[in-house]
Amino acid sequence: MTIQDLAPYLRRLVVVLLVSIAAVVVISEGSLRLQGGSVARAPETVELVIPAGTAAQVKAGEEPPGIPDEMVFVLGDVLLVRNLDVVTHTLGPLLIPPESTASLPLDYSDNFALTCSFKPTKYLGLDVREPTTLGTRLLALAFAVPPTAAMLYIYSLLSFPINKPEDDAAAGGEKAG
């Protein structure tokens, strides 16, 4: 088998590889955009403010304004809790006296349900995720492109077989005879 015999297969492989890269990039980046990009950032300090009057609202069974049920963080973030209420509040291991702050470093990724005194449900959900960086995005491409290309290449060969020149000559010779 010569290089000329392999040329149509190699051309198709290059085309399929380029199509696979484009398809995987579109799907991967589209998924990232649909997530809202909440984890495609560097670690930072995120502030959570407990507003004045929160203890009274919680005691009445009301949801204090501005405090979410769940929060999403990136590994390495620091949660800074600022208590503007007149009562000492807790969040997991933090004790936050009135008119003060406390911080919680988020050093490993996990889903946390921390007990807290400033929610009627008595817990706050924290979702700490690995950050999505250029390196992790390229790694995703490196894992997704080869199997996608292999599948599309085999499918293309089965659906659209490559005609060899000797097959064309043989088919032409049979028709003439």
Q: How many whole angstroms separate alpha carbon 131 and alpha carbon 173?
A: 64
Residue 170: pLDDT above 70? no
Calculate mean pLDDT across residues 149-168: 85
Q: At what angle do helices 3-34 and 134-159 cross, to 10 degrees?
A: 130
Residue 46 corresponds to which amino acid? Answer: V
- Please give the C-alpha separations between residue 28 and each of 118, 141, 144, in angstroms, as whole numbers: 38, 8, 9
CB 55 within 8 A of CB 83: no
Mean per-residue pLDDT of the chain: 88
Place of tokens 């995703």: 140
132 vs 151, residue with greater confidence: 151
Torsion angle defined by CA atoms of residues 28, 10, 8 and 160, in that order, rounded to the nearest 10 degrees: -40
CB 24 within 8 A of CB 147: no
Q: What is the pLDDT of residue 36?
A: 65
Query: For the segment 57-103, what is each residue's pLDDT rounded down to a tens digit?
Result: 999 999 998 899 889 999 999 999 999 999 999 999 999 999 999 99
The answer to whether the pTM exceeds 0.85 is no
CB 116 within 8 A of CB 123: yes
